[in-house]
Amino acid sequence: MATASVAFKSREDHRKQMELEEARKAGLAPAEVDEDGKEINPHIPQYMSSAPWYLNAERPSLKHQRKWKSDPNYTKSWYDRGAKIFQADKYRKGACENCGAMTHSAKTCMERPRKLGAKWTSKSIAPDEKIETFELDYEGKRDRWNGYDAASYKHVIERYEARDEARKKYLKDQQLKKLEEKNNNQNEDGVSDDEDNEDALKVDEAKVDESKQMDFAKVEKRVRTTGGGSTGTVRNLRIREDTAKYLLNLDVNSAHYDPKTRSMREDPLPDADPNEKFYAGDNQNRVSGQALEFKQLNIHAWEAFDKGQDVHMQAAPSQAELLHRNFKINKEKLKSHTKDTIMEKYGNAATEETLPRELLLGQSEKEVEYDRAGRIIKGQEISLPKSKYEEDVYINNHTSVWGSWWKDHQWGYKCCQQTVRNSYCTGAAGIEAAEAAADLMKANIARKEANEG
């Protein structure tokens, strides 16, 4: 009921307001007055007379339709860069300890750090900077060319004008030189070939200042971000007449092409002649040139960091490269030392030096006796294999090692048949006691089963 009454009341107020507006338009009711006391024309449409909700207008007004006056404190001027206002002769209290200017502190000083600052020497006091505090208006904050000095572009214009002048001078000198050759080298009939001379007078402008014309394929492109970010220079190394990489092999099962990154890692034509292929996949660049060296440098930095060295490829690239270079030198030295040691011990079969006869035929002074079957009877002792663990170490008065006895899936000592690792040896008495205890336990179990049965 409450909701219905509110809705009815709102409809009733709306109806009364519409009747009042119609009466005003017909001249039967006085015009409505705004906040400033001015009458509002009743014929103005409602979408123009009604103020937006965020202005919180309590009564009808046309103030929101008028031009808003800007703040007189706003300005469109810019900072006077590099301007100085006063230069003192001696150090003042509260000034910069480095240069002596009053407009900044030693922490924010842009002067060269002095060995002894102006606070202690009172010499070469820097002038105070001109500090301006003003508030920009809406347009001034968003004007990207605010404070731009057109004279700063003058050096660019002068460079291009100097290049054009050099080209004209070069062309003129070439034409004069060709004309001199034309006058000196005429045909035997006294008639010169005009067409040949005209072609000779044409000078290729590409030879003039080639360093300025090498950016014909330069493309400015945003990299590493989807919506923008850092800009980098990307050169288009493929001309329009070359076939695109994804058109070299139209087989759907050939090398995969990623249209987003424009990359094709595998070779689209693996069976073609390598001397005739223009493109062999993006992976070709990763395993050729300095890319492979850079990859090895990264791997060495990662492995060195894992082993405890303070090496980081991005934080200190020069240090990482120097360590990698020293690592390669030491590796080559160790490799050559190992090679020399092996050659000194076993000799080098690749050399032209003849090996000793006793080494070549395997002869020695050691006497070895064989039987008829070829087995060694005397002269060669059997060498037992050694492990990295300690052998024949007897602890706690044991006469055998741990693991010399096995029973019921348990290891133990053979001397006392105990299965506890750090137990003290009890010898034959311990074995007899263990057997007696086992027999007693079996007898007790049998007697208990007989009584229960």
User: Quick one: pLDDT at residue 203?
Assistant: 47
Domain assignment of residue 445, yes or no: yes
Mark whether 248 and 310 lie in a shared domain: no
Averaged over 154-158, what is the pLDDT? 91
Region of poorest pLDDT, from 89-93, 172-176, 413-417: 413-417
The domain boundary, picked from 245, 270, 288, lies at 288
Mark whether 259 and 300 lie in a shared domain: no
CB-based contact 118:125 (threshold 8 Å)? yes
Average pLDDT over all residues of the chain: 80
For residue 286, name the pLDDT band (cuts at 50, 70, 90): confident
The pLDDT tens digits for 118-155 are 999 999 999 999 988 878 877 888 888 888 888 888 98
User: Quick one: pLDDT at residue 322?
Assistant: 93
CB-based contact 341:329 (threshold 8 Å)? no
Averaged over 214-235, what is the pLDDT? 52
Model pTM score: 0.28
Mark whether 174 and 228 lie in a shared domain: no
Say what percent of the chain tops pLDDT 90.
Answer: 22
Domain assignment of residue 229, yes or no: yes
Domain assignment of residue 225, yes or no: yes
User: Quick one: pLDDT at residue 45?
Assistant: 85
Q: Is the pLDDT of residue 201 over 60?
A: no
CB-based contact 137:69 (threshold 8 Å)? no
User: Quick one: pLDDT at residue 185?
Assistant: 81
User: Quick one: pLDDT at residue 233?
Assistant: 55
User: Quick one: pLDDT at residue 161?
Assistant: 94
Mark whether 317 and 264 lie in a shared domain: no
Averaged over 182-209, what is the pLDDT? 57
Say what percent of the chain tops pLDDT 70.
Answer: 78
Please report the DSSP string for 241-297 in residue order.
TSPPGGGS---TTSS--BTTTTB--S-S-TTS-TTT-S---THHHHTSTHHHHHHHH
Mark whether 231 and 275 lie in a shared domain: yes
- The candidate with the shortest Cα–Cα distance to 422, out of 447, 395, 393, is 395
Averaged over 94-113, what is the pLDDT? 93
For residue 256, name the pLDDT band (cuts at 50, 70, 90): very high
Region of poorest pLDDT, from 107-116, 196-205, 260-269: 196-205
Domain assignment of residue 113, yes or no: no
Region of poorest pLDDT, from 183-197, 290-304, 336-350: 183-197
Domain assignment of residue 357, yes or no: no
The pLDDT tens digits for 403-449 are 888 888 888 888 888 888 888 888 888 888 888 888 888 889 888 88
For residue 57, name the pLDDT band (cuts at 50, 70, 90): confident
Domain assignment of residue 17, yes or no: no
Strand 135-136, strand 74-75: pairing: parallel
CB-based contact 122:91 (threshold 8 Å)? yes
Domain assignment of residue 116, yes or no: no
The domain boundary, picked from 159, 182, 205, lies at 182
Mark whether 274 and 225 lie in a shared domain: yes
Strand 405-407, strand 74-75: pairing: unpaired
The whole-angstrom separation of Cα 287 and Cα 295 is: 9
Q: Is 128 exposed, middle or buried (0-12, 13-18, 19+ CB in 10 A)?
A: buried
CB atoms within 10 A of CB 71: 10
Q: Is the pLDDT of residue 164 over 50?
A: yes
Mark whether 275 and 318 lie in a shared domain: no
Q: Is the pLDDT of residue 452 over 90?
A: no
User: Quick one: pLDDT at residue 208?
Assistant: 47
The pLDDT tens digits for 239-253 are 777 888 889 889 888
The pLDDT tens digits for 359-368 are 666 666 677 7
User: Quick one: pLDDT at residue 15?
Assistant: 75
Number of domains in the chain: 4
The whole-angstrom separation of Cα 30 and Cα 102 is: 67
Domain assignment of residue 256, yes or no: yes
What are the tokens at 285?
Answer: 């660049």
For 426, the domain range is: 405-452
3-state secondary structure 141-202: HHCCCCCCCHHHHHHHHHHHHHHHHHHHHHHHHHHHHHHHHHHHCCCCCCCCCHHHHHHHHC
Mark whether 234 and 280 lie in a shared domain: yes
